[in-house]
A = this chain, B = another copy of it.
């Protein structure tokens, strides 16, 4: 019988930065064996959303934008942040409309996922939206520079196979979609 894994005890906590795009704290923690780690960093973020949006013709609504930490222009799912007054579904629908101009359709929750449960405290709500339609133009912030791309399922699947969908929070729901919702993947 495996031993019971116990939680750590937080002895002290201190914020090292609190800015809109980065909130980080350092916790002094004690492990069950009495070992003290004076520096366990936790990054605090609001919850996030993303969506696999597919039109009635089977086109995947993807976004192309520059991703600074990788210094690359990348194709991704539409994604964003939950605002305080929204449900995750409302956030995902708002982000899809703002970033792509697509809306309507049938929405369901696909999965819940975390960036890194050891060091990041937020979760990402992943949705599947089928039969979405173009209902408006994009409404971007001045800091957003986003192309909307309509891709076939074969193009999206090839991206996954070729490790071109590098963002784990998007690769996970896409692989889940292909594993569970669509069986003709070869």
- The answer on a CB contact under 8 Å between A29 and B68 is yes
- The answer on a CB contact under 8 Å between A169 and B166 is no
Given contacts A21-B40, A115-B168, A178-B179, contact A69 B120 (CB under 8 A): yes
Q: Which residues of B contact A24 (CB under 8 A)?
A: 17, 22, 24
- The answer on a CB contact under 8 Å between A176 and B148 is no
Could you say which interface size class chain A belongs to? Answer: 35 or more
- The answer on a CB contact under 8 Å between A66 and B111 is no
Q: Does A74 contact B (CB under 8 A)?
A: yes
- The answer on a CB contact under 8 Å between A66 and B167 is no
Given contacts A169-B168, A179-B185, contact A70 B142 (CB under 8 A): no
Q: Which residues of B contact A3 (CB under 8 A)?
A: 147
- The answer on a CB contact under 8 Å between A166 and B70 is no
Shortest CB distance A49–B (Å): 14
Task: Give the docked Cα–Cα distance between A7 and B33 (Å).
Answer: 48
- The answer on a CB contact under 8 Å between B69 and A168 is no
Residue of B nearest to A141 (CB): B35
Q: A22, A68, A185: which has the most chain B beta carbons within 10 Å?
A: A68
Residues 145-160 of A contacting B (Cβ, < 8 Å): 145-149, 160
Q: Which residues of B contact A69 (CB under 8 A)?
A: 42-43, 116-121
A residues adjacent to B (C-beta < 8 A) = 2-3, 5-8, 16-17, 19-22, 24, 26-27, 29, 31-33, 35, 37, 39-43, 64-74, 111-121, 123-124, 142-143, 145-149, 160, 163, 166-169, 171-172, 175-176, 178-180, 185
